[in-house]
Structure 1
Amino acid sequence: MKRYLFILLLCAWLSPAQAHKPSDSYLSLEVHGQQIEGQWDIALRDLDFAIGLDGNGDGALTWDEIRARHQAIAAYALQRLQVASDQGACPLKAVEQLIDNHTDGAYSVLRFQASCPGAAPASLAIGYTLFADLDPQHKGLVKIDSGGNTQTAIFDPDSPRQTLSLVAPDRLAQFGAYVKHGVWHIWIGYDHILFLLSLLLPAVLLPQAHQSTRSNVPQNPLPPAAESRGRTRRVRPQVLSWGLRGAFIDVLKVVTAFTLAHSITLTLASLSLISLPSRWVESAIAASVILAALNNLLPLFRGKRPVAAFAFGLIHGFGFASVLRDLGLPQGSLLASLLGFNVGVELGQLAIVAAFLPAAWLLRKTWLYRQVLTVGSLAIALVAAVWLVERVVDIKLISS
């Protein structure tokens, strides 16, 4: 009974969680002297939550419902964006609204214009507070093109105001912003975390490989006196524990394989060298979580967890790439952003491992850890199965 209750509680906690891409918006600014042309892609699901777009309450948004709220969308968004040059504020004016599809759904495309006072600005001060009062995890990914230079930045409720140079973009600051974004992305990517943890859970319980060699084990463990009397002794089987060094090496193999694989596909996908349909990628990620969790109950991988981590890591890399691909950075900026984002993902991963391994090692011989390994793995598989069905057929089984 306790096991079933544990499963239900874990499913209730995880199922509503956003296993898909988190809340982001994409703001692009093109500066031509004093004039600015902007495009702001904002998820319709976020706007619906903030100001209500579903007029008849049937859970499905139509073009007529969205068009009826164009004025409200523009007012809500532009009140939460301020652009200024060193000569003063650059008032924003909505021009057009469209709809576009990103990897995680439909977005409202708000096009606007601004005119800055005085001469052509050398820098822009941007204030970004979209959804700051509703979603503390929301991010605004901003790209500014000016005279062949591209500057990028990431805004969130903790850093709502930044000044960006239009003459000499701060590549170090851009790199740091994407490192931070990579860490944040892995920490709220529940499907990625559950996949990694499912592979790491058995690390501290694996037996040593035959005590290194069979030659070190005595061929006859019975004492001579017992052998001469023809008596046999029953030896109770037991699982040999790893040493901490052995557990660390096993974890290192799994994490390294996962890192290498998703770094390859993250790079290829972000550079637009390979592209896969988002639904296929998200469905495959959910399937990888199921298999990794079931491997703790059934020997699916048969001691080849690093190989499995590498194979599924290739798929997870496409999921990581969706954020950078949606931003549409040019090649020069993309390389720096890609490197920073990848470094951030690895730092986020290492933080998870650093928190997991000592705790798992201390609890490895307890009843609680065995329950987490078996019952927890089953619960993870069930939650991932819900995600898989949602992604394959594009429906929402459990509302968040």
Structure 2
Amino acid sequence: MTARLMRWAALWLALIVCGGAFAHVTTTGLLRIEFTGGRVLYALSVALPELPASATATLTAATNGDRAAAETVAEAARRSVTVDLDGGRCRAGRVRIGGAGTNETRATVEIDFTCDASHGRLDITEDWRAFLGEHYQTLGNLRTPSGERPVIFGEEARSITVDIDRTIGTGWFDFVKLGIEHILTGYDHLLFLVALLVTARGVWSVVSIVTAFTLAHSVTLSVAALGIVTIPDRIIEPLIAATIVWVALENLFAAEPDRRRWIWSFGFGLVHGFGFASVLGELGLKGVTLVRGLVGFNVGVEIGQLIFVAVFLPALMWLSRGRGARLAPRIASLTVAVIGTYWLVERIFVG
């Protein structure tokens, strides 16, 4: 009895912790940093529907010409981003605020920095959490005369250091690392995997589900990153949430939810691939760098996915012993359905 109570206590604790994490989707900004001759251009693009209501209202007003709102955004930008070169603080210049082309659901913030030095150690610190939300992170690339490299500002690191005198290439490992970090912080994709695997029966079932999902999202990630097919985030993001709800409800109400689960895994994996591509496709990569980035990022996503599966399945098997064999999948599916429904409603009506 004690062992059984301990297992169920662990289950509820895990659900509470996961629910708290999943209920706050990481808001991701897309960034371009260019360094040329002692000058740094910082150009950030954010999706308005993903932001807190106050930040969305202020940015929207600023892009529409509201002077007070623009000054509020500019002040937040100067507090959130600092640049140092060769030990000296670079001076922030004019902050420009606008929309991202014809996409009215995005806003851009650009800052020019002027540095007294033209070489040495470049330190960039970014922390927008006070303005853009506690769970905000940034993905992008830094370009210098020596080359370019991916950059990430998130919960693990709010600053980067680069020696601009050293040739910096966009290597395979950089993109693999980016893919791993993206999937392990992409809570909606992980929640979808939970819904797919929680009713899996046997090794073949797990292999077929994971393989189908991998093949599908690899296809759409590739065609989207190469610009062959482009679907706006305002369509893809609600669809991703809908796939989560669908699979969770099937787990709860279908007589044999595991039967032919690989078909749903493949079909819905095509949708999730476009979600992955939204990160890679806007980094501005071209030519050989784009191909290297596509392959490396995709490999990183698969590695991160395997890491999650390797951790999740043993935990599920442990919780599913005895009476847990019936209750654990149902409790997990119900939790997934509730969180997925919240995301679906939010992404349809808020953005």
TM interval, shorter chain, is 0.7 to 0.9
Whichever residue aligns with residue 114 of structure 1, its letter is F
Deviation at 1:157, TM superposition (A): 4.5
Indicate the residue corresponding to 1:81 in structure 2: 81
How many Å separate the matches in 2 of 1:308 and 1:47? Answer: 31
Call closer, same or farther: CA 1:295–1:163 in 2, change over 3 Å. Answer: same
Deviation at 1:265, TM superposition (A): 0.9
Residue deviations 1:359-395, cap 9 Å, x none?
A: 333443422331232344244334434433443x433
Aligned 8 A contact 1:254 1:309 in 2: yes
Aligned 8 A contact 1:15 1:383 in 2: no
Q: 1:194 aligned to 2:194?
A: no
Deviation at 1:128, TM superposition (A): 2.6
Deviation at 1:309, TM superposition (A): 1.0
Whichever residue aligns with residue 141 of structure 2, its letter is K
Q: How many residues align?
A: 335
Whichever residue aligns with residue 100 of structure 2, its letter is D
Where 1:327 maps in the other structure, the secondary structure is coil
Indicate the residue corresponding to 1:144 in structure 2: 142
Deviation at 1:264, TM superposition (A): 1.4
Q: 1:387 aligned to 2:350?
A: no
Call closer, same or farther: CA 1:75–1:319 in 2, change over 3 Å. Answer: same
The equivalent position to 2:34 in structure 1, one of 18, 30, 40, is 30
TM-score by length of structure 1 reads 0.69
Indicate the residue corresponding to 2:9 in structure 1: none
Aligned 8 A contact 1:103 1:278 in 2: no
The equivalent position to 1:368 in structure 2, one of 316, 321, 324, is 324
Aligned 8 A contact 1:146 1:166 in 2: no
How many Å separate the matches in 1 of 2:97 and 2:147? Answer: 27
Deviation at 1:314, TM superposition (A): 0.9
Q: 1:182 aligned to 2:179?
A: yes
Aligned 8 A contact 1:78 1:92 in 2: yes
Deviation at 1:315, TM superposition (A): 0.9
How many Å separate the matches in 1 of 2:45 and 2:289? Answer: 20
The equivalent position to 2:211 in structure 1, one of 246, 256, 263, is 256
Indicate the residue corresponding to 1:224 in structure 2: none
Aligned 8 A contact 2:38 2:115 in 1: yes
Indicate the residue corresponding to 1:117 in structure 2: 116
Where 2:350 maps in the other structure, the secondary structure is coil
Call closer, same or farther: CA 1:341–1:390 in 2, change over 3 Å. Answer: same
Give the stretch that moved more between structures: 307-316 or 151-160: 151-160
Which protein shows a greater Rg?
Answer: 1
How many Å separate the matches in 2 of 1:265 and 1:127? Answer: 34
Gaps of 5+ in 2: 1-11
Deviation at 1:259, TM superposition (A): 0.9
Aligned 8 A contact 1:151 1:166 in 2: no
Indicate the residue corresponding to 1:319 in structure 2: 275
Indicate the residue corresponding to 1:241 in structure 2: none
The equivalent position to 1:156 in structure 2, one of 147, 154, 163, is 154
Call closer, same or farther: CA 1:270–1:375 in 2, change over 3 Å. Answer: same
Deviation at 1:77, TM superposition (A): 1.6
Indicate the residue corresponding to 1:345 in structure 2: 301
- Structure with the largest fraction of helix: 2
Deviation at 1:95, TM superposition (A): 4.6
Indicate the residue corresponding to 1:273 in structure 2: 228
Aligned-pair identity in percent equals 32
Instruction: Calculate the aligned-residue CA RMSD, in Å.
Output: 3.8
Call closer, same or farther: CA 1:352–1:89 in 2, change over 3 Å. Answer: same
Q: 1:358 aligned to 2:314?
A: yes
The equivalent position to 1:127 in structure 2, one of 122, 125, 129, is 125
